Amino acid sequence: MIPEIPIRERDRRSRFGGPALVAFSIVGSVCVGCETVTTEYHRRPGFYKLASEAELQDETVAADGRRLVFIEDGRLPSEVEAAELERKKREKANRLERKRIREEAMAAGLPVPPEGREPEPPEIFKSREVLDDGTVTLRALLPEHVIANVMTCLRNQEYFELWEQVVAESSRRAYASRGEGVEEFVAWCVRHRSELMMSLNRMSFGYYGGSDIVVDRLPDLSVRVRFSPTLASQFDFREVLVVQERGGMKLAAIR
């Protein structure tokens, strides 16, 4: 891996007013050819993709050889690092304070109060859980959890669990408005199972890196995960729409 060293950070102004892009540049030496590579991270408002007629790339190379990486409404690497340092600082201070409270309580022969006890470890989130009686429970906090649950249900042919726990209430109402329900949904899943698995597997594989998968965060808080135009023609199903409901994120549509 090429070592990268932070060297500068700057703000840019948008024609819409206010700070729009923040660039964080890093350089590293490449051994092959003794070449220096500069990477710039730019924060780009999510609505740019919605407003742009052309496809906006998440990563590109400028004419002068700089590597440009665009982060949608997210934090720059320097901000992530600063936040992590601050978190560790707070954790250390809290740990020392709990230790002080415990020692004072024990020295006084008193029970340790709740604020002096170590916190319980957080529960590990499980998007899929199989209980002792075989019951399958599916949860989703993020779009990738929805995609993973759909893939697993299709693989295991758990169509009723998929309908009851993963499909959005609004989508089930749409089925009902056409006089259809779980039977028609299961038939659709069975008919398109192979094509769905190929599309979802490729989406899952490229979700966190590269420019083949595009994640659009829409104004109504729904999320659309889709293939880039260069890849979409290779698949029968090209986008997944995920919505937020009371029980977490749910599958609204696969198109």
pLDDT in tens, 137-168: 999 999 999 999 999 999 999 999 999 999 99
**CA–CA distance, 91 with 94 (Å, rounded to integer):** 5
> Predicted confidence band at 11 (pLDDT cuts at 50, 70, 90)?
very low
Question: 242: closest CA among 234, 232, 251?
Answer: 251
For the chain, give the percent of residues with pLDDT over 70: 78
Q: What tokens appear for 47 in the block?
A: 């609505």
Q: Give 118-131 pLDDT, tens digit per residue.
A: 888 777 888 999 98
Better-predicted residue by pLDDT, 42 or 203? 203
Integer-rounded Cα Rg, in Å, for the chain is 24
- How are beta strands 128-130 and 136-138 bridged, if at all? antiparallel
Give me the helices (H) in the chain, please. Answer: 47-51, 77-107, 143-156, 159-161, 169-177, 182-191, 193-206, 229-232
User: With bands split at pLDDT 50, 70 and 90, how would you rate the model's confidence at 57?
Assistant: confident
CA 253 to chain centre: 18
Confidence of residue 10 (pLDDT cuts 50, 70, 90): very low
What integer is the mean pLDDT of 197-219?
86
Tell me the CA distances in angstroms from 148 to 74, 126, 133, 166, 218, one per residue in order: 23, 11, 23, 11, 21
DSSP letter assigned to residue 64: T
Average predicted confidence (pLDDT) for the chain: 81
Q: Can you give the pLDDT at residue 46? A: 60
Q: How far apart are the first and last CA of the chain?
A: 38
Averaged pLDDT for residues 54-62? 75
- Looking at the predicted structure, is the pLDDT value of residue 183 above 90? yes
**Domains of the chain, each with CATH number or no CATH:** 5-74 (2.70.130.10), 78-116 (no CATH), 128-254 (3.10.450)
> pLDDT (tens digit, 9 = 90+) per residue, 76-103?
667 778 888 999 999 999 999 999 999 9
Of the listed ranges 49-53, 217-221, 242-246, the least confidently predicted one is 49-53
Per the CB < 8 A criterion, the answer to whether 242 and 252 are in contact is yes
CA of 120: how far to CAs of 70, 89, 93, 123, 124, in Å? 38, 20, 17, 9, 12
* pLDDT band, very low/low/confident/very high, at 22 (cuts 50, 70, 90): very low
